[in-house]
Amino acid sequence: MQLRISNVRIPVEIPEDQLAATVAARTGLRTDDLCSMRILRKSLDARQRDRLQFVYSVVAKLDDDPSPRIRTTDGVKADLWQQEPFEDPVPGSQPMPDRPVVVGSGPAGLLAGYFLALKGYRPLIIERGQAVRDRVPAIREFDGGGEHDPDNNYLFGEGGAGCFSDGKLTCRISGPDVDWVLQSFVDCGGRSSLVYEHRPHLGSNKLPMICRNYRRKIEALGGEYRFGCRLEGLHITDGQLTALHTSSGQIATQHCVLAIGHSARDTYHALLDAGLPLRQKAFQLGLRIEHPQQVINDHKYGRPEYLRSLGAADYSLVARGSRDLFTFCMCAGGIVIPSVSEPNMFCSNGMSNSRHDTPYANSGLVVTLDTAEFGSDHPLAGVHLQQKYEAIAFELTGRSYRAPIQRARDFLADR
């Protein structure tokens, strides 16, 4: 039988190989009673700087019913546990004359293509940008002052925007589907602890390799990638999709997964022109704030020795008011990048490598814009608003794609 044991708190100085002994001691069991044990969740409790603790939930396998022997202490909870199965979607009954097409190879397209390939559907994945091996030199050239490529940049190409934006796997829900996704990242090269960490992070330096591994698995299962292939329109007959119009020609299909991300604005227009119903959606708007990483470490940890075992500190903040202000996509030990999707526009993002080893931390400071603030009921009014401010930001860069910078104290003083 299996037992879920939660709220097991251990000082961060204690090695993880002592977890089993701690679990046994706080449940009244012997270490020998635990046939096996695996971690379900691990998080850091940093509310008291002089008492940082890891908080664990584990699943322990036992030979018999331990209920009569269990005596929990120190707030530990124990209950019987059974793995919730991941239920596959029910397949249809009609034959498919053409294989499904996934538009976009970012996180959504990657996982959709991988799942379809595992189920034998041999998906075709089309991507307007290039393979990750060709994205890297294009991005380096852009960072060095080169021209912006509207199809192959920080946002478009294999892996999508996620490939060069930190690789956080934060999810505010849990369940067998989330577990399946996390395990797939491990299977494609991510570290095994991704499946239980509170804030799993792949790192921008690891993501190109992981994206390539997904592609190789998909191709080995009969799937196909077409790079440099941009969706430009749909062919719909009697309410049924029959083909996609792309920059590389027409593709016959009756089933299409649109995984186009948040920045393929020309594709949004093409979908609207094809008669697809689109609706407005609220979004977040703001700026990036950057600080010395050491300031964040000192504030959160207090003691420098914690840095060796915990790595660069992160944070998440909310300021309540007439309009809530909150941090987003905090990059510990990272850099700020120009996440530009269109020429003559400017937008920033943050990224960090798996080691979080730059001297600076950065985070988005954003507020939510409701659809009522878009100034129009046009389905793409929010996109038009984004373009307006990105064009203004580009002018403030001196038309150079180099971010305008202001000290936080001057911003707060409206100077």
Q: Per residue in 123-151, pLDDT tens?
A: 999 999 999 999 999 999 999 999 999 99
Indicate whether 402 pLDDT > 80.
Answer: yes
pLDDT value at residue 297: 94
CATH for 101-167+202-273 (3.50.50.60, 3.40.50.300, 3.40.50.880, 1.10.600.10) = 3.50.50.60
52-56, 75-79, 165-169, 363-367 — which is least confidently predicted?
165-169
Tell me the pTM: 0.92
Predicted confidence (pLDDT) per residue in 211-266, tens digit: 999 999 999 999 999 999 999 999 999 999 999 999 999 999 999 999 999 999 99
Sign of CA dihedral 54, 58, 63, 65: positive
Domain 2-80 is found in CATH 3.30.70.2700: yes
Per-chain mean pLDDT for the chain: 94
| Residues 183, 151: Cα–Cα separation, whole Å | 31
Q: State the pLDDT at residue 245.
A: 98
pLDDT in tens, 165-222: 778 888 878 899 999 999 999 999 999 999 999 888 888 889 999 999 999 999 999 9
Judge whether residue 309 has pLDDT over 90.
no
Q: Where in the chain is the domain with CATH 3.30.70.2700?
A: 2-80
**pLDDT value of position 354:** 87
Residue 251 has a CB neighbour count (10 Å cut-off) of 20
CATH 3.50.50.60 maps onto the chain at 101-167+202-273
- Amino acid making up residue 266: D
